Amino acid sequence: RPGHRRVVKIDSRDAQQFYERKQIVQLDAMSRTVALWILAAFFVVAGANHFLNPGPYFPMMPPYLPWPEGLIIVSGIAEIGGRLGLLVPRVRRLAGWGLIALLVAVFPANVQVALHGWPGEPIPHWALWARLPLQGVLIAWVYWICLVARSQSDPRKLSPE
């Protein structure tokens, strides 16, 4: 019946398990929210940098790729657009796939820099190689935020069995 609440008796062990699950759900929701905002900030800063300071991106471009200026602009637009998509729950999943595709697409530029150095940038060679696995970390981060099913964010939906 609408407005009628059913009273369910639970023992203290069940109550403790319910409380622990509720805490885990709240922690998961909070950590995902913080991670989402950090990721969004990263992509907007990185994307804006393509327009504000495009110079360092030119040496990253592998010589076999055509139209480096256009690719730098497109990747900057994709990063900013992906950031916007991260913040809109209805399109977050699509934005996640788009950002993962972008991170895979720019990987050859990171390989180019690791192999040949970054002209004009005083970055140690080891750091250029260390960037390569970080691409995988970013992909995993986007995947976790956008594509992994969230636990129930509303603790009221969790009830002891």
Neighbours of 35 (CB within 10 A): 13
Q: Residue 21: which of 145, 153, 144, 146 has the closest Cα?
A: 153
pLDDT values of the chain reduced to their tens digit, one per residue, 161 residues: 566 666 656 666 655 556 556 555 555 677 888 889 999 999 999 999 999 999 888 889 999 999 999 999 999 999 999 999 999 999 999 999 999 999 999 999 999 999 998 887 788 999 999 989 999 999 999 998 998 876 544 443 433 33
Residue type, 110: N
pTM: 0.75
